[in-house]
Amino acid sequence: MADLAAIILAAGKGTRMKSELVKVMHPLAGAPMVAWPVESAREAGASRIVAVIGHQAETIREYFAGQADISFALQEEQLGTGHAVACAAGPLAGFTGMVLILCGDVPLIRSQTLRAMAQTHAASGAVLTVLTTHLENPCGYGRIMRGFDGRVIRIVEERDATPEERSLSEINAGIYCADASFLFEAVSRLGSDNAQGEYYLTDIVTQAAERGLRCSAHPVADPVEVMGVNDRVQLAEAARHARRRIAEALMLDGVTIVDPAATYIDRGVVAGRDTTVHPGVHLAGETRIGSGCIVESGAVIKGSTLGDGCVVEPGAVIRNSRLGNYVVVKAGTVMEDAVVHDHAAIGPMAHLRPGTELGPQVKIGNFVETKKITMGEGSKASHLTYLGDATIGKNVNVGCGTITCNYDGVRKHRTVIGDDVFVGSDVQFVAPVTIGRNSLIAAGTTVTRDVPPDSLAIARAPQVNKEGWKLKKREG
């Protein structure tokens, strides 16, 4: 909607969080709490968004940096919600459409609800529409007062309400849609004659009624949408609802999630059809998982891309990595900032450190560690090996216990191994060295010089047998 803007109230500190971090920046299922209402407003059609900020304003600015549709209004003193909206008048100067007012600590409001609310407001002829819901226990919320014709005539904050008013179950959700011309004129006339000495946004309802202007209510059936977050208990509850929504959306798109209540999937995660996610899995960040994958219990995948048909076994951790199709990541493997091409197999208990790139059909076995290496198609290092700062060609066999000795105490040096090289067990490459293609490095060799192609390299200390040594040792 080109004629729709949004104000996000995000200036409060949130003392009940008992945190050094401002409340609205606490993470909720993969994004700061305040990012949720911002995205809902955007999806509802708001073309301009103003965030009213105060405590840790720069932290919030930095998070939204580069998002062209968001501007900021600074509320230096937190003098109430009405004052906060008044602070947003500057960035919206000249705007004549409808304005949504959302709370940065009410993260679960759906864009569909906001869109329906704006449409209802536009059709009703009201100058102000209030989002309401009914609660069995409305303690802490402002109560909706209606006139004989059903219109909203007043909102009473609980601390200012009479016992009869407190008995009402319809509450103010703190979310509004208003005509811009009415809204900014009304907040400029607010007073602070109340128990808190604040400028209540709710008082503009009374202003509308006194001037004979229409104020409507838009009810929402699910109270979860309007639950506020004031402490860490409520934050955890909101995260539970958010993740349930995320899981439901994925399941409706063809993903099998064995136990949604025991699976932790953040906002922004994408998974293809016929992928199966088992309990205890954490999928975070901008993770993309292809079709037909299996992610087994306890796996953690953050900010990574997996192709079709991948298998991630229990306890694997994949961070900021890119995997091709039909890659198998076996149990207990850890990888970070790695690239793995099609049909590779990693682990179990392997460690791929940043800068690792493995070609198609590469095998990295148990207790192998890699760092800043490229490994060509069909090569393998099956077990108990460290490969760092190395370029390894195609069809190379790296034997058990091989080490690239890449650090001399001052600088890192590179090992280069050509195609079709066979490296025996317990070999040390003292970099910088280059091994020519089709060479064989004998078991137990310490390589300190380049090896030409088609060569056999052997560097072992001569074997000495001391006959009778054990007998003499016993006699001594």
Residue 474: pLDDT above 80?
no
Q: State yes or no: is 383 an active-site residue.
A: yes
As a whole number, mean pLDDT of residues 437-464 equals: 95
**What average pLDDT does this structure show over 389-401?**
98
Give the integer Cα–Cα distance in Å for 164 and 65: 47
CB atoms within 10 A of CB 37: 28
How far is residue 74 CA from its own chain's centroid?
27
Distance CA 338, CA 353 (A): 7
pLDDT at 245: 96
Residue 277: what pLDDT? 98
Task: Average the pLDDT over 333-341 and give the result.
Answer: 98
Q: How far is Cα 86 from Cα 91, in angstroms, rounded to an integer?
A: 10
- Would the pLDDT of 129 be above 90? yes
Q: In this model, does residue 473 exceed pLDDT 60?
A: no
pLDDT value of residue 148: 82
Q: State residue 470's pLDDT score.
A: 65
pLDDT at 191: 87
% of the chain surpassing 70 pLDDT? 98
Q: What is the mean pLDDT of residues 253-274?
A: 97
d(CA 419, CA 161): 81
The model's pLDDT over 185-207, given as tens digits with 9 standing for 90+, comes to: 999 999 887 667 788 898 999 99
Per-residue pLDDT at 270: 97
Reduce the DSSP state of residue 362 to 3 states and report it: coil
pLDDT of residue 193: 74
Q: What percent of the chain has pLDDT over 90?
A: 87
pLDDT for position 461? 86
pLDDT score of 64 more than 90? yes
- Angle at the Cα of 301 (from 297 to 305), degrees rounded to 5? 125
Query: What pLDDT score does 159 carry?
Result: 83
Q: What is the pLDDT of residue 92?
A: 95
Mean pLDDT, rounded, for 100-119 = 97
User: For the residues 319-323, what does the mean pLDDT come to?
Assistant: 98
Reported for 335-341, long-range contacts at CB under 8 A and 24+ positions apart, including other chains, are 338/370, 341/377
Q: What is the mean pLDDT of residues 344-354?
A: 98
Model confidence at 476: pLDDT above 70: no
Asked if residue 435 has pLDDT above 60, the reply is yes
- At 329, list the tokens: 């990541």
| pLDDT bucket at 377, cuts 50 / 70 / 90 | very high
Write out the H or E segment, with its range, that includes residue 335.
strand 334-336
- Residue range 345-374: mean pLDDT, rounded: 98
Which pLDDT tens digit goes with each residue over 236-263? 999 999 999 999 999 999 999 999 999 9
The answer on pLDDT for 320 being more than 70 is yes
Distances (CA, A) of 377 to 33, 232, 260, 360: 44, 49, 38, 5
Listed in order, strand segments (DSSP E) in 140-262 are 143-146, 152-156, 170-179, 215-219, 256-257
Residue 432: cis peptide before it, omega within 30 degrees of 0: yes
Residue 195 has a pLDDT of 67
Coil, strand or helix: which one is 393?
coil
What does the pLDDT average to over 156-171? 89
Q: How confident is the model at residue 472 (pLDDT cuts 50, 70, 90)?
A: low
**Which residue of the set 241, 341, 383, 413 is catalytic?**
383
Amino acid at 74: L
Mean pLDDT of 266-273: 97
Q: What is the mean pLDDT of residues 129-158?
A: 90
> Over 80: is that where the pLDDT of 403 sits?
yes
CA 338 to chain CA centroid, Å, is: 19
For residue 149, pLDDT beyond 90: no
Q: Confidence class of residue 139 from pLDDT cuts 50, 70 and 90?
A: confident
Tell me the average pLDDT of the chain: 94
How would residue 466 be classed by pLDDT, with cut points 50, 70 and 90?
Answer: confident
The residue among 44 and 124 whose pLDDT is bigger is 44
